[in-house]
């Protein structure tokens, strides 16, 4: 997520997956939690507010410094590692947005 800001990228992904299980509003009722996975390390990070509370949607301000590349003057994350992808965790397993969307679609 280097060419544009992390929040711009998340907005674009939300628009692309609107109305599907690829967004929190479309899958939270099935136990999906918004998360990020580092494709380089396979580490998964649940989406959190900056204070560590679980976030009900994808939010980058709670990501650990190891995956944050830049912050603005107020301390908000503006750029994250390019290898980070947004998705969801359900029952201990990470799903990309497309995988979550397909799973939710099959459940309905």
Q: How far apart are CA 82 and CA 1, in angstroms?
A: 5
Strand partners, 96: 87
Half-sphere exposure of 95 (CA within 13 A, CB side): 24
Contacts of 2 (CB under 8 A, 6+ apart): 69, 79, 82
pTM exceeds 0.85 for this model: yes
pLDDT tens track for 9-58: 899 999 999 999 999 999 999 999 999 999 999 999 999 999 999 999 99
* Residue 6 pLDDT: 86
């Amino acid at each position: 997520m280097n060419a544009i800001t992390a929040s711009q990228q998340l907005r674009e992904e939300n628009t692309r997956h609107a109305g599907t299980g690829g967004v929190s509003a479309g899958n939270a009722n099935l136990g999906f939690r918004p998360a990020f996975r580092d494709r380089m390390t396979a580490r998964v990070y649940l989406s959190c507010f900056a204070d560590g509370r679980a976030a009900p949607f994808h939010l980058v301000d709670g990501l650990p410094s190891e995956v944050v590349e830049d912050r603005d003057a107020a301390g908000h994350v503006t750029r994250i590692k390019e290898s980070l992808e947004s998705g969801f965790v359900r029952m201990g397993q990470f799903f990309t947005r497309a995988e979550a969307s397909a799973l939710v679609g099959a459940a309905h």
